[in-house]
Amino acid sequence: MSNSTPATIEDVARIAEVSIATVSRAIHTPEKVANSTRLKVNQAIAVTGYTTNAMARSLRLGRSNMILVVAPDIGDPNFSNILVGLENEARAHGYGVLIGHTQNDAQRGLEYLKFFNSNQAAGLILFTGILPFGHQTMTARLPPSVGVFEPVFNGGIPYVGVDDSEGARKAVDLLLAEGHRKIAFIGDSRTRLAYVRRRMGYDAGLDAAGIPPDLRIVLEGDGTIESGRHAVEQLFMRDTLPTAFMCVNDQTAIGVMVGLGARGYDIPRDFSVTGFDDVPQAVFISPSLTTIRQPRTAIGKQAMALLLELLSDGRPAETEILLRPDLVVRNSVSAPSRQWLKR
């Protein structure tokens, strides 16, 4: 049936010889409709190829079937796989996924709020660890929201992600098991809870091994490749060198490896390095990076499921779902070099 205009509920009603109300009920609350009638309606729907007009429905209901996903940067290597999980789950429940990216610009963040005023979107997934609405964050009326990947720092918003603290613990435990005792931590000073927690895992691991914290080998960066490289330079200007670098994320770890490589060191012979996230590049760099895997697709799926639940019964549900981080052993870690042990 390729008529020029799509069939409406009225066309279906006419063919099924019922009222439009009955058609609507047959679709959305079939139990309120007699079996025989439901059959007629379904046939008419098949004949006309009817699809309910989502615009009209949203207008009437005052709520849409779109979920807005906002990230600072769509190109983030962590983002796309999470998006896959989000989209799959959304679509399985009849929702569509809208995307936006703020580039850390509060003005752009605010523009996305308009989607909610006009009911273009029903819920919000935040990929960013902070509400992207600048100083209006406080006053803005937020739609039902769920944070992914990083806990949302300033919003009291439910969150789905990996257990950062446990992940970091696994990394530091690996290094300890290999015999390392002087393990540097290259962190991220931005106010992101995820990074704070990874640091906590590091501290806890050292503590459990009876190693006193040594702040001379704990540095703060900003999670970029460049900051990893910079951290190496800083460390070499101090009086104490570690035998291993535990990095807050893979980008930093890559930077550390670049920095060490530039100084002529071999990894893992001279220094061991671990990352966090298991970004797609981690397997390609040389040596391949031992890191903590984020179950990204699962995170996306669960976050969307949580949001849809929130939308349907409005109750706050759990505030945090932590998934298990897995250690991925590759080639950037070995036992500490003799040279350093002697000291």
Partner DNA sequence: GGACTTTATGTAAACCTTTACATACGGCAT
Partner DNA sequence: ATGCCGTATGTAAAGGTTTACATAAAGTCC
- At a CB cut-off of 8 Å and minimum separation 6, what does 304 contact? 67, 85, 86, 89, 90, 95, 125, 146
Stretch that binds DNA, among 32-40, 137-145, 265-273, 303-311 (CB under 7 A): 32-40
Identify the residue whose tokens are 């769509």.
Answer: 74
92 in contact with its own copies (CB under 8 A): no
Encoded amino acid at 55, one letter: M
Q: Is 204 exposed, middle or buried (0-12, 13-18, 19+ CB in 10 A)?
A: middle
State CA 122 to chain mean position distance. 19
Q: How far is the CB of 308 from its own copies (least distance, A)?
A: 17
Which tokens go with 133? 């609405």
Q: How far is the CB of 122 from DNA (least distance, A)?
A: 14
**What DSSP element (H or E) covers 96?**
strand 96-101
Restricting to residues 228-287, which ones interact with its own copies according to CB under 8 A? Answer: 254, 280-281, 284-286
Q: How far apart are CA 257 and CA 228, in angstroms?
A: 8
Which tokens go with 314? 């409005």
- Residue placing its CB nearer to its own copies in the complex, 34 or 92: 92
Cis peptide before 72 (omega within 30 of 0): no
Report the chain's C-alpha Rg in angstroms.
26
Identify the residue whose tokens are 């205009």.
Answer: 5
Stretch that binds DNA, among 50-58, 185-193, 247-255, 257-265 (CB under 7 A): 50-58
The dihedral built from the CA positions of residue 294, 295, 301 and 305, taken in this order, carries a sign that is negative
* Residue 342 backbone zone (phi > 0: left; psi -120 to 50: alpha; other: beta): alpha
Q: How far is the CB of 201 from its own copies (least distance, A)?
A: 26
Restricting to residues 113-172, which ones interact with its own copies according to CB under 8 A? Answer: 114-115, 117-120, 139, 141
4 in contact with DNA (CB under 7 A): no
Stretch that binds DNA, among 4-12, 145-153, 160-168, 204-212 (CB under 7 A): 4-12
Q: How far is the CB of 125 from DNA (least distance, A)?
A: 25
The contact pattern for DNA, residues 58-97, with x = CB under 7 A and - = no contact, is: -xxxx-----------------------------------
- Residue placing its CB nearer to its own copies in the complex, 32 or 91: 91
Which tokens go with 261? 């490589």
In the complex, which residues of this chain contact its own copies (CB under 8 A)? 2, 6, 51-56, 58-59, 64, 66, 73-77, 79-81, 83-84, 87, 91, 96-101, 111, 114-115, 117-120, 139, 141, 254, 280-281, 284-286
In the complex, which residues of this chain contact DNA (CB under 7 A)? 5-6, 8-10, 17-22, 24-25, 27-28, 32-34, 36-37, 50-53, 56-57, 59-62
